[in-house]
Amino acid sequence: MKKTILTIAIAMIGLIGFSQEKSAKTIKYVTTFPNGEEAITIVDNSASTNLKLTSAQDFYKYEILAPENHELIHGSSNKGKVCEIDKTQLEEGTYTLKVYTADFVITSDITIENSSLTDPNNG
């Protein structure tokens, strides 16, 4: 009887594991001012095509640069403290992000992973 219950339990656990979809992974990058306060936060949800960029101060533009030569890869103007960056415009890899406020240029390294994005037409 114990073997039967154990076998059923193991089978149920296996079925539950196979029926669950791959969960989305969220990565959060935080860059701080010298006093320790958050300067910018970048949230990358693997299920989304966008990065969410939030700044402690209004910023007027951001730039994404190649780390090896600091060549401009992508950039945009902005008004306010929040924007979304279309990460499908970027190849996978590590980049340098610069956020320009009235008083500071805030720099952070970010890693783009597009491999977990799925095409709804391909499943």
Alpha-carbon span 79 to 86, nearest angstrom: 17
87 falls within a domain: yes
Give residue 56's pLDDT: 93
Render pLDDT for 34-53 as a digit per residue (tens, 0 to 9): 888 999 999 998 888 999 99
> In terms of Cα–Cα distance, which of 35, 45, 29, 53 is closest to 101?
53
Give residue 20's pLDDT: 46
122 falls within a domain: no
Give residue 123's pLDDT: 42
* Total number of domains constituting the chain: 1
Give residue 8's pLDDT: 58
Give the type of residue at 94: T
Give residue 26's pLDDT: 87
**Model pTM greater than 0.85?**
no
Question: 31 is in which domain, residue-wise?
Answer: 23-112
Write the CATH number for 53. Answer: 2.60.40.3080
8 falls within a domain: no
> In terms of Cα–Cα distance, which of 65, 90, 62, 89 is closest to 77?
62
What backbone torsions phi and psi does residue 6 show, to the nearest 5 degrees?
Answer: -65, -45
Q: Is the dihedral of CA 52, 97, 108, 114 positive or negative?
A: positive
Question: What residues in the chain have per-residue pLDDT under 50?
Answer: 15, 17-20, 117-123
Name the residue with tokens 């196979």: 18
92 falls within a domain: yes
